[in-house]
Chain A
Amino acid sequence: MQPSCRNARSQKFGSSLILMAACLVLTWAFPSAEAAGPPVKVGVLQSLTGTMAISEVTVKSAEMLAIDQINGAGGVLGRKLVPIVEDGASDPAIFAQKAQKLLEQDKVVTVFGGWTSASRKAMLPVFERFHGLLWYPVQFEGNECSPDIMYSGAQPNQQILPALDWAFEKGYKRIFLLGSDYVFPRTANLILKKHILHRGGVVAGEEYVPLGGTDFSSVVTKIRLAHPQIIFNTLNGDSNVSFFKQMTAVGMPPSKLPVMSFSIAEQEAKAMGPSLVAGSYAAWNYFESLDNTPNKKLVAAYDAKFGAGSVLDDPMVHGYIDVILWAAAVKKAGSFDPNAVRKAAVQLGWTSSAMGNVKFAANQSLYQTAYVGILQPDGMFKILWQSKNPLFPEPYDPLAFPGKHCVLK
């Protein structure tokens, strides 16, 4: 119905008048059976500018695709979704401010968004104060558990520890830890160090560079001195380009010294130029090259909306699945109330998705499968390894944070 009304604009005046009238009458006479109530607002809050934009703009696109698909199928509980998109500008303070604006002024029923842990930590008190519900799509360091956040991204035991399993299986036991200087890399490496030592490996070195940093000359020297067998890389955003460029310049491309990256997916590889990072490893819960029907459908739908050759990656698919699972939870709860929705979400049961089978555990994190892949020159990952089953999400690593548990009421 709507497209023909829109096409009417391009017709000649007379016929367009008739068409317009017809459209009006038709809308009047046959209201959609589903779209009964007034539209309902949902928030989409990602960094559209700044150093994190390289990764977050496309997460927004995936979330918008899911919202469009839900609206195309008649909305949720008979109500269309109206996305309110805000820019977190790669700045935690702005994330907090925009989250408050979404909840307080726009009165959105839920928010999809966030990337860096700093952005999530900044938004957390806002969601607690206004009793909102945030769907967070990115792998993170765990060590946090709030009833006001649905953590669909991987917990440490679903991404970094499986990567360590894989590295030990391959005989890489001398590991150099490199990251951007903020909460995710610091905590992830704290957990990694405990596990590396516990399993008899060696931490060859540990270095942090300010977020957005571009000079790696000293870091490269330290890596050369440490003689690691593999680098575990938790650098974020554009810093990765500088790091790989400067490593390649001294004759240590990823093909010579393996690098396992936790923040480089298909999207970043494409932006950086796959030739620069080809041969480097990544651990995720989704790769575009996964061979399953829901994934093929999702890739086709995304290409249809954003053009052939657009690329999907792990956080995007988590963002997409967040919206889908939120809609399913709203249907189950029969309400948009954040408290009812979060309780319904953990009772949804297994859902077949592009990442394989997933399910929210009682701790509001997602059961999911871990994969390790190697980047090919065409920018896609070849999958080398996967966990046997979807892994239970553990927010508190038993070695790094003994005695802590996530209990939500």
Chain B
Amino acid sequence: MGESAVIAGQAFNGISVASILLLAALGLALSFGVMNVINMAHGEMLMVGGYLSYLTCKFVHGPFAFLVALLIAFAGASLLGGLLEVSVVRWLYGRPLDTLLATWGVSLILQQGARSIFGPIGVEVTAPEWLNGSISIEHGALAGMDLPYVRLFIILLAVVVLSLVALFIARTRWGLLLRAVHQDREMSEALGVNTSRVDSMVFALGTGVAGLAGSALALIAPVTPTVGQSYIVYAFLVVILGGLGSLLGTTLASLLIGLSSAGAQIFMGVSLADVLLLVMVVLFIQFRPKGIVVRHSRALGEA
């Protein structure tokens, strides 16, 4: 395995980590950007997605059971997210600290709920046959490189989801409303946009994507009641680094974090690479407090 293969291999690993981060952070960026709501229970939507795929794979068999599981994870998590928005978040608009506390409470309830139902021990989703194996490069400069199908699938999923969300925002009527509310909430309201329905929709969409992330994650790691906790911190990092509410910024930030962490891990251990990553983000925020992509939005009161 040559040097170029190592670097290419780590780049692949970085993109693979970035695609999971992107799926985890996309919904957070949406709800943060449009509604200015910090959803602490976002990580638990990953967990819900993971458990839903576990349940689906238990009852549905066959080679494409996992695709069904993805759909169910999306539907289930967005339903739960919609419910959370209508029952809790909606009543706390304009009180960011209260929202923070309330959604954190919800996150604890969901974790304990999962613990009571599924037990503290992680459950497994076995990857379908067609995702077993990998592409091995045997010749040329990249000889020895190995691309597991599972990771390729997750990258593909992230690309597809990102494109669909981008299309949704750019091309559909709901997307138009979403952009309008994002740019100027009061003006949209004055023009007859039902902003609370747009809010519910954005929130449900965001949590649904998190559900997909949880489902994808279940292919490479066990689903535990605390699985959301280990990704939520990175998801927040991505959102802050990317610039609030920007799809492009979120994508760039996921790639930056994924690639630099994989790159650092060539030279140092995983723990130290994590430390370096945090230092890097803190420094970056010092110089560009609004993140990679700065969007001007009245919703965030910064015009």
Within 8 A of B (CB), among A192-228: 207-210, 212-215, 217-219, 221, 224-225
Binds A, one of B31-39, B89-97, B143-151: B143-151
Contact B13 A221 (CB under 8 A): yes
Contact A272 B124 (CB under 8 A): yes
Contact A217 B121 (CB under 8 A): no
In the complex, A249 has a CB within 8 A of chain B: yes
A238 to B151, CA, bound (A): 20
Partner of B122, one of A209, A241, A250: A241
Partner of B126, one of A210, A224, A251, A273: A273
A249 to B17, CA, bound (A): 15
Within 8 A of A (CB), among B141-186: 144, 146, 148-151
Binding site for A on B (CB under 8 A): 1, 6, 9-10, 13, 16-17, 115, 119-122, 124, 126-127, 132-134, 136, 144, 146, 148-151, 217, 220-222, 224-227, 230, 262, 265-266, 269-271, 274
Contact A54 B120 (CB under 8 A): yes
Could you say which residues of chain A place their CB within 8 Å of the CB of B127?
Answer: 245, 249
Could you say which residues of chain B place their CB within 8 Å of the CB of A245?
Answer: 127, 220-221
Q: Could you list 10 A-B pairs, sorted by A, with CB under 8 Å?
A: A209-B270, A218-B262, A221-B6, A221-B13, A224-B1, A224-B144, A224-B146, A225-B1, A250-B134, A271-B121
Partner of B133, one of A53, A213, A215, A251: A251
A217 to B120, CA, bound (A): 26
Binds B, one of A43-51, A70-78, A168-176, A333-341: A43-51
Partner of A57, one of B120, B144, B262, B274: B120
Chain A residue at minimal CB-CB distance from B133 = A251
- Mask, A223-255, CB within 8 Å of B = 1, is 011000000000000100110011001110000
Could you say which residues of chain B place their CB within 8 Å of the CB of A251?
Answer: 133-134, 136, 146
Could you say which residues of chain A place their CB within 8 Å of the CB of B269?
Answer: 181, 207-209
A181 to B151, CA, bound (A): 25
Could you say which residues of chain B place their CB within 8 Å of the CB of A273?
Answer: 124, 126
B270 to chain A, nearest CB (A): 5
Could you say which residues of chain B place their CB within 8 Å of the CB of A209?
Answer: 269-271
Chain A residue at minimal CB-CB distance from B1 = A225
A339 to chain B, nearest CB (A): 36
Could you say which residues of chain B place their CB within 8 Å of the CB of A54?
Answer: 120-122
Partner of B121, one of A53, A181, A208: A53
Chain A residue at minimal CB-CB distance from B270 = A209
Chain A: how many interface residues by the 8 Å CB criterion?
Answer: 33
A59 to chain B, nearest CB (A): 13
Contact B220 A210 (CB under 8 A): no
Chain B residue at minimal CB-CB distance from A252 = B146
Binding site for B on A (CB under 8 A): 48-51, 53-54, 57, 181, 207-210, 212-215, 217-219, 221, 224-225, 238, 241-242, 245-246, 249-251, 271-273
A246 to B226, CA, bound (A): 20
Contact B122 A238 (CB under 8 A): yes
Contact A217 B151 (CB under 8 A): yes
A27 to chain B, nearest CB (A): 36
Give the one of B13, B151, B225, B262 with max A CB within 10 A.
B13
B123 to chain A, nearest CB (A): 9
Could you say which residues of chain B place their CB within 8 Å of the CB of A249?
Answer: 127, 132, 134, 148-151, 220
A241 to B122, CA, bound (A): 9
Contact A51 B226 (CB under 8 A): yes
B262 to chain A, nearest CB (A): 6
Chain B residue at minimal CB-CB distance from A248 = B132
Could you say which residues of chain B place their CB within 8 Å of the CB of A272?
Answer: 124, 222
A16 to chain B, nearest CB (A): 33
A225 to B7, CA, bound (A): 12
Contact B136 A210 (CB under 8 A): no
Contact B270 A218 (CB under 8 A): yes
Contact B270 A208 (CB under 8 A): yes
Contact A218 B10 (CB under 8 A): yes
A250 to B217, CA, bound (A): 17
A210 to B277, CA, bound (A): 14
Contact A48 B120 (CB under 8 A): yes
A50 to B230, CA, bound (A): 12
Could you say which residues of chain B place their CB within 8 Å of the CB of A246?
Answer: 148, 220
A220 to B151, CA, bound (A): 13
A245 to B220, CA, bound (A): 6
Contact A271 B122 (CB under 8 A): yes
**Known contacts A53-B121, A54-B120, A271-B122; is-contact A181 B270 (Cβ 8 Å):** yes
- Which 10 pairs show the lowest CB-CB distances between chains A and B? A53-B120, A217-B13, A218-B265, A249-B148, A214-B221, A242-B221, A241-B222, A250-B146, A54-B121, A209-B270
Could you say which residues of chain A place their CB within 8 Å of the CB of B146?
Answer: 224, 250-251
Could you say which residues of chain B place their CB within 8 Å of the CB of A50?
Answer: 120, 226
Partner of B6, one of A214, A225, A250: A225
A209 to B273, CA, bound (A): 10
B218 to chain A, nearest CB (A): 10
A209 to B261, CA, bound (A): 13
Could you say which residues of chain B place their CB within 8 Å of the CB of A241?
Answer: 122, 124, 221-222
**Known contacts A208-B270, A241-B222; is-contact A250 B148 (Cβ 8 Å):** yes
Could you say which residues of chain B place their CB within 8 Å of the CB of A208?
Answer: 269-271
Could you say which residues of chain A place their CB within 8 Å of the CB of B274?
Answer: 210
A53 to B220, CA, bound (A): 20
Could you say which residues of chain A place their CB within 8 Å of the CB of B222?
Answer: 214, 238, 241-242, 272
A94 to chain B, nearest CB (A): 14
Chain B residue at minimal CB-CB distance from A213 = B270
**Known contacts A57-B120, A224-B144, A224-B146; is-contact A217 B270 (Cβ 8 Å):** no
**Known contacts A57-B121, A250-B134; is-contact A217 B17 (Cβ 8 Å):** yes
